[in-house]
């Protein structure tokens, strides 16, 4: 089963939902606005995607203080998580993790690779 992490009203998320629905792909949705990401999940995101996990173009990231941005750029995942759990919109969307057709899937963002993986 695939889990897609993000925010329901995000335009990129809407594209991802439409893609899954049009292609009959089952998924679970983890809504950052309703649920708090666990520290283990956050650390898995960072281990899998590195610094790409942060949406540095978004308004949430831009509103962070310079000190908070420095923490996110550092190596202390516990300190980064403390910022993230209160500002989950700073995470890039969508993030998709899980298994599809017996293969592990780890995607960040919505792009053409989705067609390659899910077709």
Helices and strands (H and E) in the chain: how many: 6, 4
Q: Tokens 């899910």 appear where?
A: 118
Report the pLDDT value the prediction gives residue 119, as an integer from 0 to 100: 80
Cα–Cα distance, 77 to 75 (Å, whole number): 6
- The total of structural domains in the chain comes to 1
Domain membership of residue 40 as a residue range: 2-118
* CATH for 75: 3.40.30.10
47 annotated active-site: no
State pTM to two decimals: 0.93
Q: Provide block-wise average pLDDT over 10 residues at a time, the chain (119 residues).
A: 95 96 96 96 96 94 96 95 95 96 95 91
Residue among 4, 5, 10, 91 flagged as catalytic: 10
pLDDT at 114: 95
């Amino acid at each position: 089963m695939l889990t897609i992490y993000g925010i329901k009203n995000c335009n990129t998320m809407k594209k991802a939902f439409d893609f899954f629905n049009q292609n009959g792909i089952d998924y679970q949705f983890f809504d950052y606005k309703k649920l708090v990401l666990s520290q283990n999940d956050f650390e898995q995101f960072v281990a899998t995607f590195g610094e790409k996990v942060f949406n540095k173009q978004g308004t949430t990231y831009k509103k962070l203080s310079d000190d908070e941005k420095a923490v996110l750029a550092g190596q202390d995942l516990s300190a980064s998580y403390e910022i993230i759990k209160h500002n989950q919109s700073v995470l890039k969307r969508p993030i998709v993790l899980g298994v599809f057709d017996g293969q592990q899937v780890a995607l960040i963002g919505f792009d053409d690779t989705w067609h390659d993986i899910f077709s």
